[in-house]
Chain A
Amino acid sequence: MNRRVETAINSIGKPLFAIFVSLLIGAILIIPTGTSPIEAYSILFKGAFGSWQGITTSLAYATPLLFTGLGAAYAFRAGVFNIGLEGQLYFGAIAAALVGVYAPEMPGILHIILCIGAAMLAGMLWSILPAILKIRYNIGVFITYIMFNNIAQLFSDYLATYPFKGELSFGATYKVSEKVFLPKLAGEMIDLNFGFVIAILLAIFLYILLFKTQFGYESRAAGINVGFTEYMGVDAVKKTLVVVMISGAIAGLAGAEQVLGVSHRYISSFSPGFGYMGITVALLARTNPLACIITAIFFGALNNGAIQMEIFTNISRDLVTAIQAIMIIFIAADFAWKKRKGIKKQEKKPSQSKEEVA
């Protein structure tokens, strides 16, 4: 009983606490602007959830975050810190756009599958290179992934600005074939599209994959204890590669959703950092795929509501960015705290274990 309560507090209470305190600090930041924080937040909330239009727009904002969040959550569970989601998303987007524009005539459904497949493949390939560099040459993934993010974005932008430039005056491809548009779910004016349904299904699928299957059993083991995984007869390196590939494919899917469902073409620098926000979404959800649905919608709503708030008050929407950053600090602090506790536990009986080994 006690243990259950403790786990529940740990998995729900701490993220809620992080959210609460960040909103509180956000409120302090609002005070100097002269607007009452309560008013600002209620406008934000109304904007995000107050109307059908608000809700559907929030969900539209949530969709790419849910994809990247799932990519991150899945990788983290299996012990891979994939922070290259942003780059994988860009390559997924450009791949989907190019296939959507240039592929030969074919039935619509096949074309959509081809676009999505290309996006997933692109994300997958882009995710696997740093992992191989890490395994082969022990090059830190933090650095390679971040550099790979820039390379992916700049190269995709280049493709859209020069060789595959469309009719528009800025770096964007042609519109993809109308047959590959993902169907809209809430009218033409709102970005919410079928991608959201895919993302929800994916979350459920990933949850089952992680917690109910043999594959997930092995992945989770690899995420916690490599020695144990190898002992169990599982090739941990191979496992890592597969996990990274799946995670990258999901990020590619996020890019495809943006192109096929929202903008219908690749537009240079379209992502405001979906890949990075996905990491926060995943961490706030404690890397549970189902919880990612909630945290992604929460973040989508914040981003959506912030725009309303900017219109009706004199508060910049950047406030929400600040709030999200504060949340990251709280989550990171929790991790650091846990690690410290872990170290202390080890320190407690070093000589005993040493005695055993010596």
Chain B
Amino acid sequence: MGLAIEMIDICKEFPGTLANDHVSIQVAKGSVMCLVGENGAGKSTLMNILYGLLRPDFGEIRINGKTVEFHSSLDALNEKIGMVHQHFMLVEEISVLENIILGREPGKSQFIDYEQARKEIEDLMEKNGMPIPLDALVGDLPVGMQQKVEIIKVLYRGADILILDEPTAVLTPQETDELFNNIERISAMGKTFVFITHKLDEVIRVSDFIIVMRRGKVVGQVKTKDTNKYALAEQMVGKEIPPIRDREEKNGEKVIRLSNVNCHDHKGRKLLKNINLSIHQGEIVGVAGISGNGQQALAQTISGQLLSNSGEITYFGEDFTKVKRRERLLKGISYMPADRKKEGLCMEWSVAENSIAGYHILHQFVKKIGCLHFINESQMNENAIKMIERFDIRTPSHRTKVSALSGGNQQKVVIARETFVQKPKLLIAAEPTRGVDIGAISFIHNYIMDLRNEDTAGLLISSDLDEIFALSDTIVVLFEGEIVCHVKASEISKEELGLYMAGSKRQENEYES
């Protein structure tokens, strides 16, 4: 059979990173190709280029042997490429039928021929063995069913090539099984699948052919039958020596202890399952895992933004289960959130205004006049000026809006606020160096290490394994809200960690701490 997709020498650069570095891939017609790689490896960029959402800086795309140039996803659709996004693009308030025909409504001029649409879609569903209640509202359907709607929608538009971006991330195991059966059936009918995932078990199960990406490059192309998940994990993670750490031996007191902590969101989906974790003074616990496996919930449960639904949290032996964020913050639990633009900073505010957020209730920043608590502006400014000096924050003045600062300097404002005003006893650092330039990365790493050596307990959440290895004393792996691995950093290799992260392995014996 011929080639359905050829991407030749694709390059795409974003400010600061080369997301795709001369990437070439080929996918045969009627096959299932898996694209695997760590976060930031460039998979999504490549697929967005294929789907016309991004334009490559360089390179050529051929579909069925014909060179094409996409200006938008509409062009890709015309070449019979369809994409099912990780986050569904459905309108929850209207019916399944209406969702499927949206954008390609049959019928004459302004009138929609619902009967014809229903017939066509029913044919499609029968042929592909995917029954869906056409008249139900999409919002009422379970996630797995919504995904079927997306797939049928893409097929209804006539796609021959289907890109599935992390399709199993939101599915239950049973739904995943069903999806794989459907993929097998549909690909047998000659459709080509491109499947993006981190989960190696799934890769082995569903694909014919695997392409591994790392740091914007293709580092491996193999037939599925010629490989196994261990080999894949090694290729995915690569072998890089972590920087030499200078850490003092510490044997400190227990700072925080989570026992059997469970958390679920307002829809009842489990975010954290039976978390047991202790962090000691002078210990950094690195949390590895693929984004969206409960890292945010873990950070927020410890910072106090999210109260656990069951289980117990103690802080220096004191019951902290129901203590809220404000009090935890005052008692020395600092938190650098992963998304500094949406959580860590108020982009419209000045450096000075941001420099006291959360700590604005401390007495040194408050002037009480009558019953009104005024912000002590001179103290606030003085504090900001000191921070700028201590952390070498490059800003024209403390009155400058933080949105005008570079990513690294913004992150410095966050880390300064969380550690300077009041020395933390426990620092939660989520993705502390994401989107930060190299100079700032090494500053932040050293600073976190210094804090550790001065007895601060640390929780480091990072999707960068190098960072985890460089800083952590202990490593835990979160997978689907559960700790599946809990080891000393010196006792595990990156390759093995990759397997835990991908969910294809889990630790049998409990870790003693």
A230 to B304, CA, bound (A): 10
Within 8 A of A (CB), among B478-492: none
* From A212, A227, A232, A351, contact of B53 by CB (8 A): A351
**B44–A354 CB distance below 8 A:** yes
Q: A209-B372, A213-B373 are in contact. Are A355 and B44 (CB under 8 A)?
A: yes
| Count of A interface residues, CB-CB < 8 Å | 27
**A225–B346 CB distance below 8 A:** yes
User: Which residues of B are found within 8 Å of A221, using beta-carbon distances?
Assistant: 346, 357
B329-341 interface code vs A (CB 8 A; 1 in, 0 out):
1000001010100
**A234–B342 CB distance below 8 A:** no
Q: Is A356 an interface residue (CB 8 A)?
A: yes
**A228–B346 CB distance below 8 A:** yes
**B45–A214 CB distance below 8 A:** no
User: Which residues of B are found within 8 Å of A34, using beta-carbon distances?
Assistant: none
User: Which residues of B are found within 8 Å of A209, using beta-carbon distances?
Assistant: 372
A233 to B345, CA, bound (A): 13
Interface centre among A208, A232, A354, A358 (most CB of B within 10 A): A358
User: Which residues of A are found within 8 Å of B337, using beta-carbon distances?
Assistant: 231
**B19–A351 CB distance below 8 A:** yes
Interface centre among A214, A231, A355 (most CB of B within 10 A): A231
**B44–A215 CB distance below 8 A:** no
**A233–B325 CB distance below 8 A:** yes
A217 to B357, CA, bound (A): 9
User: Which residues of B are found within 8 Å of A354, using beta-carbon distances?
Assistant: 44, 48
**B166–A217 CB distance below 8 A:** no
A358 to B213, CA, bound (A): 14
A15-58 interface code vs B (CB 8 A; 1 in, 0 out):
00000000000000000000000000000000000000000000
Q: Is A136 an interface residue (CB 8 A)?
A: no
Q: A217-B360, A221-B346 are in contact. Are A351 and B44 (CB under 8 A)?
A: yes
**B19–A352 CB distance below 8 A:** yes
**B357–A232 CB distance below 8 A:** yes
A271 to B42, CA, bound (A): 61
**B44–A231 CB distance below 8 A:** no
**B346–A212 CB distance below 8 A:** no
Chain A, Cβ-Cβ closest to B354: A228
A334 to B320, CA, bound (A): 47
How far is the CB of A100 from the nearest CB of chain B, in Å?
A: 29
How far is the CB of B296 from the nearest CB of chain A, in Å?
A: 11
Chain B, Cβ-Cβ closest to A350: B53
Q: Is B358 an interface residue (CB 8 A)?
A: yes
Q: Is A224 an interface residue (CB 8 A)?
A: yes
How far is the CB of A161 from the nearest CB of chain B, in Å?
A: 41
**A224–B348 CB distance below 8 A:** yes
**A358–B375 CB distance below 8 A:** no
Within 8 A of B (CB), among A45-87: none
Q: Is A357 an interface residue (CB 8 A)?
A: yes
User: Which residues of B are found within 8 Å of A228, using beta-carbon distances?
Assistant: 342-346, 357
Chain A, Cβ-Cβ closest to B377: A212
How far is the CB of B64 from the nearest CB of chain A, in Å?
A: 25
Chain A, Cβ-Cβ closest to B348: A224
Q: A228-B345, A234-B326 are in contact. Are A352 and B375 (CB under 8 A)?
A: no
How far is the CB of A204 from the nearest CB of chain B, in Å?
A: 13
Q: Is A349 an interface residue (CB 8 A)?
A: yes
Within 8 A of A (CB), among B240-274: none
B302-329 interface code vs A (CB 8 A; 1 in, 0 out):
0111000000000000000000111011
User: Which residues of A are found within 8 Å of B353, using beta-carbon distances?
Assistant: 217
* From A214, A231, A350, A357, contact of B344 by CB (8 A): A231
Chain B, Cβ-Cβ closest to A226: B342
A44 to B74, CA, bound (A): 56
Within 8 A of B (CB), among A222-273: 224-225, 227-228, 230-234
Q: A227-B343, A232-B357, A233-B324 are in contact. Are A358 and B14 (CB under 8 A)?
A: no
User: Which residues of A are found within 8 Å of B303, using beta-carbon distances?
Assistant: 231
* From B17, B305, B373, B434, contact of A231 by CB (8 A): B305
**B39–A356 CB distance below 8 A:** yes
User: Which residues of B are found within 8 Å of A356, using beta-carbon distances?
Assistant: 39-40, 434-435
A214 to B305, CA, bound (A): 20
User: Which residues of B are found within 8 Å of A233, using beta-carbon distances?
Assistant: 304-305, 324-326, 328-329, 358
* From B328, B342, B360, B375, contact of A212 by CB (8 A): B375
Q: Secondary structure at chain A's binding surface: helix, strand, loop or mixed?
A: helix
Chain A, Cβ-Cβ closest to B325: A233
* From A232, A234, A355, contact of B45 by CB (8 A): A355
User: Which residues of B are found within 8 Å of A208, using beta-carbon distances?
Assistant: 372
Q: A355-B40, A358-B86 are in contact. Are A213 and B346 (CB under 8 A)?
A: no
A358 to B35, CA, bound (A): 13
Q: Is B278 an interface residue (CB 8 A)?
A: no
Chain B, Cβ-Cβ closest to A354: B44
**A214–B326 CB distance below 8 A:** no
How far is the CB of B335 from the nearest CB of chain A, in Å?
A: 7
Within 8 A of A (CB), among B6-39: 14-15, 17, 19, 39
Q: Is B191 an interface residue (CB 8 A)?
A: no
A156 to B335, CA, bound (A): 51
A131-148 interface code vs B (CB 8 A; 1 in, 0 out):
000000000000000000
A71 to B401, CA, bound (A): 28
User: Which residues of A are found within 8 Å of B19, using beta-carbon distances?
Assistant: 351-352, 355
User: Which residues of A are found within 8 Å of B348, using beta-carbon distances?
Assistant: 224-225
Within 8 A of B (CB), among A189-230: 208-209, 212-215, 217-218, 221, 224-225, 227-228, 230
Q: Is B171 an interface residue (CB 8 A)?
A: no
A351 to B10, CA, bound (A): 15
* From A212, A231, A349, A358, contact of B335 by CB (8 A): A231
**A214–B374 CB distance below 8 A:** yes
How far is the CB of B325 from the nearest CB of chain A, in Å?
A: 4
Q: Is B291 an interface residue (CB 8 A)?
A: yes
Chain A, Cβ-Cβ closest to B324: A233
A355 to B344, CA, bound (A): 20
Q: Is B54 an interface residue (CB 8 A)?
A: yes
Q: Is B43 an interface residue (CB 8 A)?
A: yes
Within 8 A of A (CB), among B368-408: 372-375, 377
A214 to B360, CA, bound (A): 7
Nearest 9 pairs between A and B by C-beta? A233-B326, A233-B325, A214-B373, A232-B358, A227-B343, A352-B14, A231-B343, A227-B342, A358-B44
27 pairs from A and B in contact (CB 8 Å cutoff): A213-B372, A213-B375, A214-B361, A225-B346, A225-B347, A228-B342, A228-B343, A230-B325, A231-B325, A231-B344, A232-B325, A232-B358, A232-B360, A233-B324, A233-B329, A350-B53, A351-B44, A351-B53, A352-B14, A354-B48, A355-B14, A355-B44, A355-B45, A357-B292, A358-B43, A358-B44, A358-B166
Partner-A contacts on B (CB < 8 A): 14-15, 17, 19, 39-40, 42-45, 48, 53-54, 86, 165-166, 196, 291-292, 303-305, 324-326, 328-329, 335, 337, 339, 342-349, 353, 357-358, 360-361, 366, 372-375, 377, 434-435
For the complex with contacts A218-B360, A231-B325, A231-B343, 11 further pairs of A-B residues with Cβ separation under 8 Å are A213-B372, A215-B372, A221-B346, A224-B346, A228-B344, A228-B357, A233-B305, A355-B39, A355-B40, A355-B42, A355-B44
